[in-house]
């Protein structure tokens, strides 16, 4: 392993990125955010956070006091899941492990929010069938891709259009998972409504083909996510809730910028959030995936969508905004983004590979390269063995 020698580091310690900001009830000391990152180290069966490694992983990345981290997506229920090695936050055994993780991060005087996750059609129909679970989606069609359709057929678990009672059950499980998170010590929860997972599927005009009040119009497509927002605000308070969107994302067969109505759809739901804010219930933040990354599996600079921006969000939403998308190698873009005093920047891949990422950005130190092959590998390698800057120097990077 080595430093990324093509990157010329720039110290950002004197920019707004290192100005404190309050998010919800958390007094952050800077505006670098660790975004939710799937790592696939949880135990199967049970979707329990890794007992040997997970606490250390979050500990290493939260050493800079006053940092805000968001967990990898955590399933709100078994029915919302389907990836064997991603964690959940519905069972007592899962919560017991999460407790240890929150405690570590708090020892570092940093903050950890839980991303609440439901997969919808991005799940695996055969895995769900194995566990006696439905393969859920907004509507019976379209399938995400030909492979999912084939698997669903073989497993005799066809894509299932959620009934209204089942939507209600999901909302109840979001509430339970949020309460579990806070009771275990989390600082807040983030609703995952991005990257082509269940709530994003409901928002997408080409994926959601429902004809009831959850589909067929912009307002109807926003309904499920807004009902989740309202239920969580009621249950844990608006200062403990954030939400993530990826308007231009095409991962998991979302429409992205190819759909002329996509900005209108997101403008609507964000407008509804701002309405609630003006009525006294402002969510802690909105988290946006930038069109700089339309698919998280692509390497930096590929799959950028150049014909749209998230600027429209600023015209509507007047609260804090976290922006994510290939920013670690672009200090000039980061510096510009944080100028307005309500923007935070998320850094994923390079923070995975640099446990002391915040200090390196502050001081302009070189960055370790990341190894994509270990992003999802069930190993300590690539998870808790990336060196700090001093260690890297000793190792001859
Ligand atoms: C992934 O597991 O690759 C993944 C999970 C959640 C996302 C994006 C990607 O939002």
264-274 pLDDT per residue, tens: 999 999 999 99
Average pLDDT, the chain: 98
Predicted confidence (pLDDT) per residue in 288-320, tens digit = 999 999 999 999 889 999 999 999 999 999 999
Which residue is it, tokens 């190698």?
329
| The pairing of beta strand 26-28 with beta strand 21-23 | antiparallel
Looking at the CA of residue 73, tell me the nearest atom of ligand 1: 6
Predicted confidence (pLDDT) per residue in 47-61, tens digit = 999 999 999 999 999
Looking at the CA of residue 117, tell me the nearest atom of ligand 1: 6
CA torsion, points 42, 43, 44, 48, in degrees to nearest 10?
A: -80
Active site residue 197: yes
pLDDT at 91: 99
Kindly give the confidence (pLDDT) of every residue in the chain, 397 residues in length, as a single tens digit, with 9 standing for 90 and above.
Answer: 899 999 999 999 999 999 999 999 999 999 999 999 999 999 999 999 999 999 999 999 999 999 999 999 999 999 999 999 999 999 999 999 999 999 999 999 999 999 999 999 999 999 999 999 999 999 999 999 999 999 999 999 999 999 999 999 999 999 999 999 999 999 999 999 999 999 999 999 999 999 999 999 999 999 999 999 999 999 999 999 999 999 999 999 999 999 999 999 999 999 999 999 999 999 999 999 999 999 999 998 899 999 999 999 999 999 999 999 999 999 999 999 999 999 999 999 999 999 999 999 999 999 999 999 999 999 999 999 999 999 999 999 9
User: Which of 36, 38, 290 maximizes ligand 1 atoms within 8 Å of its Cβ, making it the mutation to test the pocket?
Assistant: 38
Q: H or E segment at 289?
A: strand 285-289
**Whole-angstrom Cα distance, residue 293 to residue 278?**
31
pLDDT at 67: 99
**Whole-angstrom Cα distance, residue 66 to residue 110?**
5
- Residue 327, classed as helix, strand or coil, is coil
pLDDT at 87: 99
The answer to whether 252 touches 197, Cβ cutoff 8 Å, is: yes
**Whole-angstrom Cα distance, residue 331 to residue 120?**
36
| The pairing of beta strand 321-324 with beta strand 285-289 | parallel
| Residue with CA nearest ligand 1 atom 2 | 38
Catalytic residue among 34, 135, 197, 383: 197
Cα of 89 from ligand 1 centre, angstroms: 17
Which residue is it, tokens 């402002």?
282
Q: Does the beta carbon of 194 lie inside 6 Å of ligand 1?
A: yes
Predicted confidence (pLDDT) per residue in 230-262, tens digit = 999 999 999 999 999 999 999 999 999 999 999
Cα of 38 from ligand 1 centre, angstroms: 6
Q: Does the beta carbon of 250 lie inside 6 Å of ligand 1?
A: no
pLDDT at 328: 98
pLDDT at 297: 93
The answer to whether 313 touches 292, Cβ cutoff 8 Å, is: no
pLDDT at 361: 99
Q: Does the beta carbon of 296 lie inside 6 Å of ligand 1?
A: yes
The structure tokens listed for 39 are: 């790592």
The structure tokens listed for 25 are: 């009830």
| Radius of gyration, CA atoms only, the chain | 20
The structure tokens listed for 244 are: 């993530």
The answer to whether 360 touches 9, Cβ cutoff 8 Å, is: yes
pLDDT at 217: 98
**Whole-angstrom Cα distance, residue 121 to residue 298?**
21
Cα of 295 from ligand 1 centre, angstroms: 9
What are the DSSP calls for 156-175, one per residue? T--EEEPPHHHHHHHHHHHH
Q: Does the beta carbon of 87 lie inside 6 Å of ligand 1?
A: no
**Whole-angstrom Cα distance, residue 97 to residue 370?**
27
């Amino acid at each position: 392993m080595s430093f990324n020698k093509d990157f010329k580091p720039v110290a950002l310690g004197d920019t707004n990125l290192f100005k404190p900001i309050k998010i919800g009830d958390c007094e952050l000391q800077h505006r670098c955010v660790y975004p939710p990152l799937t790592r696939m180290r949880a135990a199967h069966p049970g979707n329990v956070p890794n007992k040997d490694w997970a606490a250390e992983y979050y500990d290493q990345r939260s050493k800079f006091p006053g940092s805000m981290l968001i967990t990898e997506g955590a399933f709100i229920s078994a029915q919302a899941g389907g990836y064997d090695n991603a964690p959940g936050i519905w069972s007592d055994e899962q919560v017991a492990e999460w407790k240890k993780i929150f405690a570590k991060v708090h020892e570092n005087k940093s903050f950890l929010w839980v991303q609440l996750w439901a997969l919808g059609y991005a799940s695996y129909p055969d895995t769900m069938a194995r566990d006696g679970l439905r393969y859920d989606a907004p509507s019976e069609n379209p399938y995400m891709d030909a492979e999912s359709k084939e698997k669903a057929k073989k497993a005799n678990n066809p894509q299932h259009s959620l009934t209204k009672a089942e939507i209600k059950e999901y909302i109840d499980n979001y509430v339970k998972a949020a309460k579990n998170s806070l009771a275990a010590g989390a600082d807040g929860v983030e609703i995952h409504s991005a990257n082509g997972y269940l709530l994003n599927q409901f928002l997408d005009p080409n994926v959601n083909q429902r004809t009831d009040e959850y589909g067929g119009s912009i307002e109807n497509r926003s309904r499920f996510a807004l009902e989740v927002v309202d239920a969580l605000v009621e249950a844990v308070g608006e200062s403990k809730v954030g939400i993530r969107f990826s308007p231009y994302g095409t991962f998991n067969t979302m429409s992205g910028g190819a759909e002329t109505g996509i900005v209108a759809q997101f403008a609507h739901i964000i407008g509804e959030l701002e309405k609630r804010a003006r009525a006294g219930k402002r969510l802690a933040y909105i988290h946006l995936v930038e069109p700089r990354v339309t698919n998280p599996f692509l390497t930096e600079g590929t799959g950028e969508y150049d014909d749209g921006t998230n600027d429209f969000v600023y015209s509507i939403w007047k609260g804090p905004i976290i922006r994510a998308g290939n920013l670690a190698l672009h200090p000039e873009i980061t510096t510009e983004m944080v100028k307005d005093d309500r923007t935070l920047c998320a850094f994923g891949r390079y923070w995975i590979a640099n446990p002391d990422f915040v200090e390196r950005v502050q001081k302009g130190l070189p960055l370790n390269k990341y190894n994509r092959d270990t992003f999802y590998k069930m190993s300590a390698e690539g998870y808790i063995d990336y060196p700090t800057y001093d260690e890297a120097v000793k190792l001859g990077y």
